[in-house]
Structure 1
């Protein structure tokens, strides 16, 4: 007999979206909610600190990126993968001919 899912993510993986569309939607929303209020509070305080420190030099994309990096600083990154992905990107430098 199959064991019951222990987390919302496991339940979402097991839920058939064709048979139970409403339950699938509810589980999707549940998976995006913070586990505790402290997580959301930490996110807002990080965002406030970043805005204060770099108010004049930052656009919305940079602010979002820095906030996500600070909030999720405990995630391990594969530096080689990041370098490879960056190397595959197109050159963004524009050449102007006069």
Structure 2
């Protein structure tokens, strides 16, 4: 049954839930309030990514070294 095998293969690749996507949209909704409706896309994306990935620990010295061309 090649058709059933193909369908099951496709089904196995589908995510079990869309919770991550829903959380991302919820974050965007909180960030883009009426007061911030004039915010450009790049800034909104940056704020959303910072909020979504806020649990990642950052090494401030490494960030400074990468951002400062004199220290490279």
Q: What's the TM-score bracket when you normalise by the shorter of the two chains?
A: 0.5 to 0.7
Query: Hey, what's the Cα distance between the residues in 1 that align with 2:56 and 2:26?
Result: 19
| More helix as a share of residues | 2
CA change 1:23–1:38 in 2 (3 A) is same
Structure 1 stretches lacking a partner, 5+ long: 1-19, 85-97
Comparing 30-39 and 71-80, the one that deviates more = 30-39
Query: Where in structure 2 are there 5+ consecutive unaligned residues?
Result: 66-71
TM-score, structure 1 length as denominator?
A: 0.46
TM-score (normalised: structure 2): 0.60
**Distance verdict in 2 for CA 1:46–1:25, change over 3 Å:** farther
Q: Name the CA distance, whole Å, in 1 between partners of 2:63 and 2:5.
A: 33
Number of equivalent positions: 66
Structure 1's consecutive aligned runs of 4 or more residues displaced over 2 angstroms after TM superposition are: 20-36
CA 1:24/1:77 → structure 2, altered by over 3 Å: closer, same or farther? farther
